Amino acid sequence: MASSLGAQAHAHGYGQAQAHGYGDARSARFFRNAGDLSPSSCRFRAAMATASASILASPAIPRSKPAASQISRLQTQLRKKEISAVEIVTEYLDRLREKEPDVKSFLHISSSALDEAAEIDGRLARGDDPGPLAGIPIAIKDNLCTQGMPSTGGSRILDGYRPPYDATAVKRLKESGAVLIGKTNLDEFGMGSSTESSAYQVTSNPWDLSRVPGGSSGGSAAAVAAGQCACALGSDTGGSIRQPASFCGVVGLKPTYGRVSRFGLMAYASSLDVVGCLGTSVDDVSLLLNAIAGHDPADATSSSKVVPNYLKALVPAKELPGNPLAGMKFGIIKETIGEGVEPAVAQVVKNAVVHLEKLGAVVQEVSLPTFSLGLPAYYVLAASEASSNLSRYDGIRYGPRVVADELNAMYGASRGQGFGAEVKRRILMGTYALSAGYYDAFYKRAQQVRTLIQQDFKKALEDGHILLSPVAPSPAFKIGEKVLDPLSMYLGDLMTVNVNMAGLPALSLPCGLIEDEGSKLPVGLQLIGNAFEEEELLRVGHIFEQTVPTW
């Protein structure tokens, strides 16, 4: 039975997504020399030729009623035997294949998804409980190691690499019965805010195919928005879950640093990286967090704090009292709603504030005076840590190797040909900032700014505030718009990087739409809480999404 379903899967073409040969170094280097995506590259032209069409999924978005949990609905139907795991996975795989030529969210599609679903059905038939995510199709960002499945980090330097182990977060999803449907596209090694610096393909925003899905977890966000999976894992170092969630109109959670194990996440900046979740509702994101959170002996920075049941905090809309947020204090960060933010975005966020107030909340303006310094400080720290973390990609241990007579030449050529332009920039800037004699000028000062930012947050959150801000200064921009100027790309991260430097949890919640050149584009509201207080964020987020006017 299992093998015929496996054959069925292959017949449907669910084998590995097209692999690019590393052998054609000339054409590969042409793409990289063209800054990954310059006007002269074929890939850029192909992306721009796509009409500004929108291919949103149903049932995901847009919606005519408040967001509902896909996971809960599917689990109920599964346990009542109204549907089988194979039918669930088939439905998502069909939609995945239908949308993929337009969205291109996936770098690899699992060839064993239907087999795994059949196994889940078998266990259910025998009276076993496969777990709270049984049969749920989940997409995994490609910088998370998945045993036996390609894991490229969006980079040529790991072309063909199949890890011998699962990342802890991945292992825990499997133990909960989830079916890993595939690996999603990302900016190379997580470095980027648009997914355009993937070495493999450009992912399009399902709301408008001529626009970016955001980054670096753009593939995961687009896949969730297009209904190609029920939910997804991503990673967030400077906003890489929250910003694509905002651009794609889905819910994105960046947990507290240490809440989820980083074991098996390809390290970009070890003091900033976290693994997190994306879904179409707060319920689903909470269920994912339940599965992946918790101490891991394999990650020395993971926390032993008890993991609560995040779902318990969520009250169904009809059981909410009249003023569900009565007595709650919120602080909207003054430095995020003024200059540098598009007026339309600021307006949507202010409307969200009015809605919170109608629910009984007290919202004040708070100031974080060192806010804008966070951006250069973040980029110094992130680039420095990246220059160290990426030194392991030497052409010896994994991935393609460029043969040379002498060791340094071999390193140089393997890395020179394996890394894309943005990664090279960050490695070189990080090498500069860490060079002898420059530590005081850059790295140390960035760490001192980090202290100030932590202190500012601590003070603002002391009064029991949840902090509010837009997630990004703009909605999704056009593919190709920012690639020629790295600095303009960095400036878009203003709202998100400080949260990583303080290690705090934050939720990105769809809160409205903006119209731009005939396209409707989502805007996300960012909620920031105290360390390990994801319950509060999810509770408030859930109340907001269940009561917000539909769109």
240 is catalytic: yes
Q: How many CB atoms are located within 10 Å of the residue 372 CB?
A: 14
Q: How many CB atoms are located within 10 Å of the residue 321 CB?
A: 10
Helix (H, G, I), strand (E, B) or coil at 30: helix
Of the candidates 104, 141, 171, 174, the residue annotated as catalytic is 141
Alpha-carbon span 188 to 190, nearest angstrom:
5
Segment 483-522, which members bind another protein (CB under 8 A)? 486-487, 490, 501-503
Q: Select from 257, 251, 320 the least CA-distant residue to 288.
A: 251
Residue 424 found at the interface with another protein (CB under 8 A): yes
Instruction: Give Dmax over CA atoms of the chain in angstroms.
Output: 74
Return the number of the residue (352 or 380) whose C-beta is nearest another protein: 380
**Residue from the set 396, 459, 515, 517 that interacts with another protein by CB under 8 A:** 396
Compute the least distance from the CB of residue 373 to another protein, in Å. 6
End-to-end CA distance of the chain: 44
Return the number of the residue (81 or 444) whose C-beta is nearest another protein: 444
**Residue from the set 380, 468, 483, 525 that interacts with another protein by CB under 8 A:** 380
Residue 435 found at the interface with another protein (CB under 8 A): yes
155 is catalytic: no
Compute the least distance from the CB of residue 450 to another protein, in Å. 4
Segment 277-316, which members bind another protein (CB under 8 A)? 295, 297, 300-304
Alpha-carbon span 423 to 443, nearest angstrom:
19
Return the number of the residue (83 or 373) whose C-beta is nearest another protein: 373
Degrees to nearest 5, angle at CA 264 with 260 and 266: 105
Return the number of the residue (11 or 436) whose C-beta is nearest another protein: 436
Secondary structure of 123-168 in the HEC alphabet?
A: HHHCCCCCCCCCCCEEEEECCECCCCCCCCCCCHHHCCCCCCCCCH
Of the candidates 155, 204, 210, 216, the residue annotated as catalytic is 216
Residue 40 found at the interface with another protein (CB under 8 A): no
Compute the least distance from the CB of residue 225 to another protein, in Å. 30
Compute the least distance from the CB of residue 29 to another protein, in Å. 8
210 is catalytic: no
Alpha-carbon span 298 to 306, nearest angstrom:
17
Residue 257 found at the interface with another protein (CB under 8 A): yes
Compute the least distance from the CB of residue 223 to another protein, in Å. 27
Strand partners, 208: 205
Segment 307-366, which members bind another protein (CB under 8 A)? none
| Spatial contact of 192 and 148, defined as CB atoms under 8 Å apart | no
Helix (H, G, I), strand (E, B) or coil at 180: strand
Residue 30 found at the interface with another protein (CB under 8 A): no
Return the number of the residue (97 or 295) whose C-beta is nearest another protein: 295
Residue 387 found at the interface with another protein (CB under 8 A): yes
Compute the least distance from the CB of residue 377 to another protein, in Å. 6
Segment 455-484, which members bind another protein (CB under 8 A)? 457-458
Q: Select from 169, 182, 163 the least CA-distant residue to 223.
A: 182
Return the number of the residue (50 or 372) whose C-beta is nearest another protein: 372
Return the number of the residue (347 or 447) whose C-beta is nearest another protein: 447
Return the number of the residue (355 or 415) whose C-beta is nearest another protein: 415
**Residue from the set 6, 77, 165, 347 that interacts with another protein by CB under 8 A:** 165
Q: In sequence order, what DSSP letters do the residues of 269-337 get, joined into one string?
A: -TTT-EEEEEESSHHHHHHHHHHHBS--TT-TT---S----GGGGPPPGGG--SSTTTT-EEEEEGGGS
- One character per residue 519-548, x = contact with another protein (rule: CB under 8 A): ------------xx----------------
Strand partners, 469: 526
Residue 271 found at the interface with another protein (CB under 8 A): yes
Q: Select from 500, 481, 442, 522 the least CA-distant residue to 62.
A: 522
Segment 59-88, which members bind another protein (CB under 8 A)? none
Compute the least distance from the CB of residue 161 to another protein, in Å. 8
Compute the least distance from the CB of residue 365 to another protein, in Å. 23
Of the candidates 193, 240, 302, 474, the residue annotated as catalytic is 240
Four-residue CA torsion sign, 323, 329, 332, 334:
positive
Q: Could you say which DSSP state residue 398 is in?
A: S
Known catalytic residues are: 141, 216, 240
